[in-house]
Amino acid sequence: MTKSNDKKDQEFHSVVKLAKLLAKKTKNKIDEKYMIIMIRNAIFSLPSVYTGLISEEALELPYDKRTKEHFYGRTESAKRLVHEIKTNPKRSEKALILFLKSRSRVHKVTAKQNNLLKQYNKKNPGVHWRKAYKDCGIDLLKQDINTKNGKRYAYFIGSTEYKSIADVAEDYGISISGASYRFFKSVSHNHSHWKAELIS
């Protein structure tokens, strides 16, 4: 596990521990209401897990103009997490962390598409995200974020390994093309520790 991924896993683990603690303490409906709000806010702060799916329109935008679309609502995710903890008290923390990661997945869309999906989901609660995207006329494409010129690479900054160049771009707040430049073209001493190792 890389240092970056290890830190992210700790964040998911902390939310699971918080949810388990709060779930044991709730005594009434008011307690439960505010417990869900706290867990929802904690889930909101978790790292996003990019699916690699991006709308055709968003693909044309600069990296920092693309919007993360959380296709699973945080409130519903908080309720399901608490329900899972209460009904399956022996469920491992690892399983709960995997559940949270699944619910933290995002697609990349335009801001306009994100607002369109929000409005659609308000009017059609509980609809599967695939139907929502179809009804809103949003087509998703698979973004190949690990390849360059048909070859696959592993990305390292110092001793930290990243699974994709998109993860690097997100951590450093730069565009994918900017990250690619630092790995493959930059001759600056400041980027000498940015390494891309050929996998295949």
Do 136 and 37 share a structural domain?
yes
Report helix, strand or coil for 19. helix
Calpha distance 105→126 (Å, rounded): 17
How confident is the model over 99-103, as a mean pLDDT? 91
Please write the tens of the pLDDT for every residue from 124-172.
Answer: 988 999 999 999 999 998 775 555 555 678 889 988 888 777 778 777 8
Instruction: State the Cα–Cα distance between residues 170 and 195, nearest whole angstrom.
Output: 17
| Res. 1: pLDDT tops 50 | no
pLDDT of res. 41: 95
Residues 184, 85 share a domain: no
Per-residue model confidence as pLDDT tens digits over 25-68: 888 999 999 999 999 999 999 988 888 889 989 988 887 889 99
Look up the domain containing 80 and give its range.
Answer: 3-142
Task: Looking at the structure, tell me whether residues 133 and 153 fall in a common domain.
Answer: no
Verify that 112 and 153 share a domain, yes or no: no
More confident residue, 95 or 1: 95
pTM above 0.75, yes or no: no
Mean pLDDT lowest among 8-12, 106-110, 133-137, 175-179: 175-179
Same domain, yes or no: 116 and 169: no
Confidence of residue 2 (pLDDT cuts 50, 70, 90): very low
Is residue 3's pLDDT more than 60? no
Least confident of 2-11, 59-68, 112-121, 158-167: 2-11
Helices (H) and strands (E) in the chain, counts: 9, 8
Q: How far apart are CA 148 and CA 199, in angstroms?
A: 11
**Confidence (pLDDT) at 196:** 87
Share of the chain above pLDDT 70, in %: 92
For residues 10-14, give the mean pLDDT: 93
Q: Residue 24 above 60 pLDDT?
A: yes
Residues 89 and 153 in one domain: no
Token digits of residue 158: 């110092």
Q: What share of the chain is helix, strand, coil (3-state, %, to 5)?
A: 55, 20, 25
Q: In this predicted structure, which of 8-12, 43-47, 62-66, 176-180 has the lowest mean pLDDT?
A: 176-180
108 in the same domain as 9? yes
20 lies in the same domain as 97: yes
Number of domains in the chain: 2
102 and 182 together in one domain: no
For the chain, give the mean pLDDT: 87
136 and 75 in one domain?
yes
